[in-house]
Structure 1
Amino acid sequence: MNINRRGFISLGAASVAALGLAACGNDATTPGTETSTGATNGGGSGAGGKVGVSMPTQTSERWIADGDAVKSQLEEAGFEVDLQFANDDIPTQSQQVDQMITQGVKVLIIAAIDGTALAPQLDAAAAAGIKVISYDRLIRDSENVDFYVSFDNFKVGVAQGQSLIDGLAERFSSENPANIELFAGSLDDNNAHFFFNGAMSVLQPKIDSGEFVVPSGQTTIEQATILRWQQEAAQKRMEDLLTANYGDKKLHGALSAYDGLSRGIITALENNGYSGETFPIVTGQDAEIASVKLINDGIQYSTIFKDTRLLAEQAVKAAVALLEGNEPEANDTETYDNGVKVVPSYLLDVTTVTKDNVTEALVDTGYWTQEQVDSGVA
């Protein structure tokens, strides 16, 4: 994906002036490789020091966009950047972070594959005086997490659940009860729990009242989880659910925590003969271009747009503050307890995207072009 086709949001002019920043080009990474070493000064001087950026995978366009956005904005801020992707492999991410520490980075920005697996690396970072920013996925069970930047993940789940409710009311108002199934993210991702709990906060009352029914009976996150958020695993689970529970009934909706899962669910539904105006309501998250096209075509019902350009901006601001010996600006100091301490956090808001507001939310903001939305190709 050519991230340069998006208009990145840079740090404000005052911050740029204060830091004496120099703009530089953005090296887009290439999907499909296990790791991508972005150790480079780019067009910046690297005067701010070296920052290690650890992203979980390149199999999701969302994480490619995050990695490139963080790298681009850090380089604009005068940092040297080592960007690594871990291919959803925990030992690989651990090794990459170890290497960053050995190379003398000043700050680590980490989107963890498993939020509980990096304690030794964080201990080593603390011993070396390296600050740690947990990026989007909260790193757990360690006191050595200095700051957390993310979206309001409980609200993400609420928005997904409410979108499912709205879509069912729009498309299946005469169906009572409506049959739904639940798909959650990977249990080792702390965010998956926030997403699921947020969604269930609005869906559970509907289930309790009998307005919604889950024919499979699989209503806990442990039953609904999809390891590593894999599209193929979501497709297989949906196929199994349809075979076991829908011989004499129709599915009306599926809660999906992520666009990749959504596309797997949709494939399974299409393979089982679902189509047209009675296609089940399927939610999603991350505004991946393939799913945005499905939404624009009236197949996937919705996605939750999390503007990763803004998240990258907050990560850079936090890195600058920590290196200057200051506390980064936080707007939440109560919610994100990682099991050892409450991590000060900056949370961003999100937007629910349906066919009605694709242009306003994604094209007008420069996140995707109309050509990309029409083609489904970034």
Structure 2
Amino acid sequence: MNTRMRRAAVAVAAGAMAVSLAACGSAKSSGSDDSSASSAKKGDDIKVGLLLPENKTARYEKFDRPQIEKKIKELTNNKAEIQYNNARQDANLQAQQVDTMITNKVDVLILDAVDAKAIQNSIQKAVDAGIKVVAYDRLAEGPISAYTSFDNVQVGKTQGEALLKALGGKATKSSKIVMINGSVTDPNAKQFKEGAHSVLDGKVTIAKEYDTKEWSPDNANSEMETAISAVGAKNIAGVYSANDGMAGGAITALKAAGITVPVTGQDAELAAVQRIVTGEQYMSVFKSYPQEAQIAAEMAVALAKGESLDSIAKDKVSSDSAKDVPSVLVPVVSLTTDNINDTVIKDGFYTVADICTGKYKTACDKIGLK
């Protein structure tokens, strides 16, 4: 089944905006008919399980976890018990962690799946045990009660549009681009890829394309080396990288071959922002993780207390196994040298001192980042 997304918001300042999604064909009910309110309401003394997928990407431990935990405590007068685990990119380990959460009798589970399809049985087990599940950042299969993420197709479009802008007059049908996409086990990666292709196809030639296992920077580095050998160093006009970690791996290979071309990214990692400052990476996608995290916390607390999600999630999303799941999608922004101050610095991700250390100071001065 294909999920179709319709974006309804464009400004980050507008808050927790939503995008309507629909699915075609038949699907089992997500259980959302009763997810907005349960028969027995609870107070602030709740148990919340939080399972994040990996720790190679800086965002999960630096932004997502602390923001989710902070908001849950705020919403429950510091009475909620939060149980946390990171799967370290191991789908089997994450399944075991779900089992542990079931054994520990959490009231609700916030889950960012390592493998969105493989986790389906674990989600079913949790739901059978009376635990509501909030799919976080990735649309996990199974009877989830709520979902929050970013407009992932728009992320890919934003990256593709930025790459074309960086190429300028070099963006022709004969221009050769290398695409380094995310893992096939991540449904977001498929949507990033879809969005990027919708912008790039017909405008440039995709000379080489890879689906990178586990979003690994090392794998991206190897793929870039292979692409350089196959396409030719002088023939590569630009690189689409689905995230910042892989962009770093690709850029290492490009530098070793003496190639300087625009490279995209996503997640606004500190190292990526510094590469943007120096011109090694053209852009990243800035996503308000605090906003996404706070929405997930609000959903989880409401579900654990047996309260309605109507005031939080105005729209619906469908997957292959669930339909009409209450959802909130947060908009994104293209991050370049032009808006570092208005994005990562303004939102408190980093300070100028964090970015403009040592060897980056001169480059920061050149772009007026002080």
Relative to the length of structure 1, the TM-score reads 0.78
Aligned to 1:323: 304
Amino acid at match of 1:312: A
Question: What secondary structure does 2:85 align onto?
Answer: strand
Out of 226, 230, 247, which is 2:212 matched to? Answer: 226
Amino acid at match of 1:232: D
> CA contact under 8 A between 2:284 and 2:334: conserved in structure 1?
yes
Is 1:205 the equivalent of 2:206?
Answer: no
- Distance in 1, matches of 2:91 and 2:171, equals 47
- Say if 1:237 and 1:243 are closer, same or farther in 2 by CA, change over 3 A: same
Identity %: 36
Aligned to 1:152: 151
Is 1:375 the equivalent of 2:357?
Answer: yes
Report the CA distance between 1:127 and its aligned residue.
1.8
Relative to the length of structure 2, the TM-score reads 0.80
Report the CA distance between 1:176 and its aligned residue.
6.9
Report the CA distance between 1:110 and its aligned residue.
0.3
Report the CA distance between 1:174 and its aligned residue.
8.4
Amino acid at match of 2:205: V
Deviations 1:281-305 (A, max 9, x none): 1000000000010001111000001
Query: In the comparison of the two structures, how many residue pairs are matched?
Result: 313
Amino acid at match of 2:164: I
- Distance in 2, matches of 1:173 and 1:90, equals 42
Question: What secondary structure does 1:301 align onto?
Answer: coil
Q: How does 1:126-137 map to 2 (within 5 A)?
A: 126-137=127-138
Is 1:332 the equivalent of 2:318?
Answer: no
Report the CA distance between 1:215 and its aligned residue.
3.0
> CA contact under 8 A between 2:153 and 2:191: conserved in structure 1?
yes
- Say if 1:180 and 1:308 are closer, same or farther in 2 by CA, change over 3 A: same
> CA contact under 8 A between 1:51 and 1:81: conserved in structure 2?
yes
- Distance in 2, matches of 1:173 and 1:205, equals 14
> CA contact under 8 A between 1:161 and 1:255: conserved in structure 2?
yes
> CA contact under 8 A between 1:71 and 1:83: conserved in structure 2?
no
Aligned to 2:12: none
Deviations 1:185-240 (A, max 9, x none): 0001010111000111111131xxxxx22334x4xxxxx20011000000000001
Out of 67, 76, 82, which is 2:74 matched to? Answer: 76
Amino acid at match of 1:166: K
Deviations 1:312-335 (A, max 9, x none): 1101111122133333222431x4
- Distance in 1, matches of 2:325 and 2:357, equals 41
Which structure carries more relative contact order (alpha carbon 8 Å, separation 6+)? 2
Out of 187, 202, 212, which is 1:190 matched to? Answer: 187
Amino acid at match of 2:206: V
- Distance in 1, matches of 2:123 and 2:130, equals 10
- Distance in 1, matches of 2:188 and 2:101, equals 25
Aligned to 2:206: 214
Aligned to 1:33: none
- Distance in 1, matches of 2:324 and 2:190, equals 17
Q: Which runs of 4+ in 1 moved over 6 A?
A: none
- Say if 1:75 and 1:174 are closer, same or farther in 2 by CA, change over 3 A: closer
Q: How does 1:1-378 map to 2 (within 5 A)?
A: 47-64=44-61, 65-78=63-76, 79-140=80-141, 142=142, 144-169=143-168, 173=170, 177-206=174-203, 212-216=204-208, 218=209, 224-246=210-232, 249-274=234-259, 279-328=260-309, 329-333=312-316, 335-375=317-357
Which segments of 5 or more consecutive residues in structure 2 lack a partner in the other structure? 1-14, 17-42, 360-370
> CA contact under 8 A between 1:86 and 1:93: conserved in structure 2?
yes
> CA contact under 8 A between 2:144 and 2:322: conserved in structure 1?
no
> CA contact under 8 A between 2:98 and 2:126: conserved in structure 1?
no
Report the CA distance between 1:159 and its aligned residue.
0.5
- Choose between structure 1 and 2: higher strand proportion: 2
Question: What secondary structure does 1:356 align onto?
Answer: coil
Deviations 1:149-188 (A, max 9, x none): 101111111101111111111xx54877322111110001
